[in-house]
Structure 1
């Protein structure tokens, strides 16, 4: 199953160009939660301090992760796609503190003994993993008071829970199909509180006024409780 999903995300990688050299402010690295350029909040959502250890679930070609590393964090990324990670190595070869791993997010979280100060996912593995499997293990690998943040497209009305995402593979092939999990903001809040994140904000950020597209971005921020979670 992982090989099938890895190939699908390799196909996706072919459709995505490298991140721009600079953003609108002339910065060479930056953090972007939304699908729109120069839009929305930044890394401050994660409430990081220099020296923190941060995990990116589904880091792709590494743009957000590189920015976290330049701020003085230990920035760890996991992604299923070798092609996406190759793009990350190509684009950010000289960024200190950036550590990349190829594989499944759940397996990585299950195998590591690292406790992270923050965990995040931008249109990444948090969208494409069953939350009832992901949330307990994120909780276990996040320090008390640490932030778990993720963003994705908001759900289509009436299409909730496990859905199908179709990834184009070319004119002569059927698209690859991967699973994603879509919920309304209040359902995400309830799920996160159920799994030991008592402080949750889940909102849909409106689309950029500079863009013709109108779909907003669901941004969820949750703080891990200070007490161990018992299951």
Structure 2
């Protein structure tokens, strides 16, 4: 029985609306980016050398495209039908790449083939209760498989599920609110350890300029045995 989603799909259907003319062009997908600053920080090497990878909340799908072009069989799962339709349209000719419309927890609970790497770049891992998500991830990874995610660095003292309001979304009569989970790096490490992960690395990668927002980057592995 699918769980009741915490995040309105409409929020993501209208996220980052295209303001140009004509058909929205596909973005460049020539690097795996964990931060919002192009060329800043590590790239796909964080994931090791996976054969199969799963992207949680890929939106435009740039990171999934990059991996697929490197020969990694990559699946992107997104809660927004609009985001999935756009990604499929843009990247339909990329071999080894697929985009599915589903809630990530529902998908993980029903999937039987394990992945070598599961990741989220400012994506669904940010907006999903880790107490629900992390056990599902541990079951969905191969032994020694990598889980990694990035999101904005947490605001001091604003920890746990925090509301993010989308009143700015155009054409909406009411404000849409989503929850995003924020913790300092050490808390993420403790959560992952409690759910059976090892080799945990969690830190904030500073912005390239002193005024910018840093990026929380977390990497862990499923135990090998």
In the other structure, the counterpart of 1:11 is: 14
How well do the aligned residues superpose, as a CA RMSD in angstroms? 2.0
**Equivalent position SS for 1:12:** coil
- Please give the per-residue CA displacement for 1:179-216, whole angstroms capped at 9, x wherever unaligned: 1110000000011011011210001111123xx85110
| C-alpha deviation, 1:19, in angstroms | 5.7
CA contact (8 A) 1:147 1:223 kept: yes
1:183 aligns with 2:183: yes
* Kept after mapping to 2: 8 A contact 1:205/1:216: yes
Q: Aligned partners of 1:112, 1:140: CA distance in 2, in Å?
A: 10
Residue in 2 that maps onto 1:69 = 68
TM-score normalised by structure 1 residue count: 0.88
User: Residues 4 and 143 (structure 1 numbering): CA distance in 2 closer, same or farther, change over 3 Å?
Assistant: closer
Cα deviation 1:50-98 (Å, max 9, x = unaligned): xx11000101111100011001111011001111112212221210000
TM-score (norm 2): 0.90
Following superposition, which runs of at least 4 residues in structure 1 exceed 6 angstroms of deviation?
none
**Native 8 Å contact 1:79 1:85 kept in 2:** yes
Match of 1:205 in 2: 205
Match for residue 224 of structure 1?
222
Q: Alignment length, in residue pairs?
A: 217
Change (3 A) 1:7 1:30: same
> What is the CA–CA distance in structure 2 between the aligned matches of 1:61 and 1:5, rounded to whole Å?
18
Pairing 1:117–2:120 present: no
Q: Structure 1: 5+ residue runs without aligned partners?
A: 22-27
* Structure 2: distance between partners of 1:19 and 1:10: 17
Asked whether the equivalents of residues 27 and 62 of structure 2 are also in contact (C-alpha less than 8 Å), the reply is no
* Secondary structure in 1 matching 2:37: coil
Q: Deviations over 1:139-162 (max 9, x none)?
A: 000011111000000111111001
SS at structure 2 position matched to 1:32:
coil
- Deviation (angstroms), 1:37: 1.6
Separation in 2, partners of 1:197, 1:102: 27
SS of the equivalent of 2:203 reads: strand
The answer (yes or no) to whether the contact 1:61–1:86 under 8 Å persists in 2 is no
Q: Residues 185 and 218 of structure 1 are in contact (CA less than 8 Å); yes or no, is this contact kept in structure 2?
A: yes
Q: 2:162–2:179: 8 Å Cα contact kept in structure 1?
A: yes
Give the match for residue 40 of structure 1.
Answer: 41
**Secondary structure, aligned partner of 1:164:** strand
**SS of aligned partner of 2:142:** strand
Cα pair distance change 1:208/1:87, threshold 3 Å: farther
Change (3 A) 1:204 1:93: same
SS of the residue 2:95 aligns to: coil
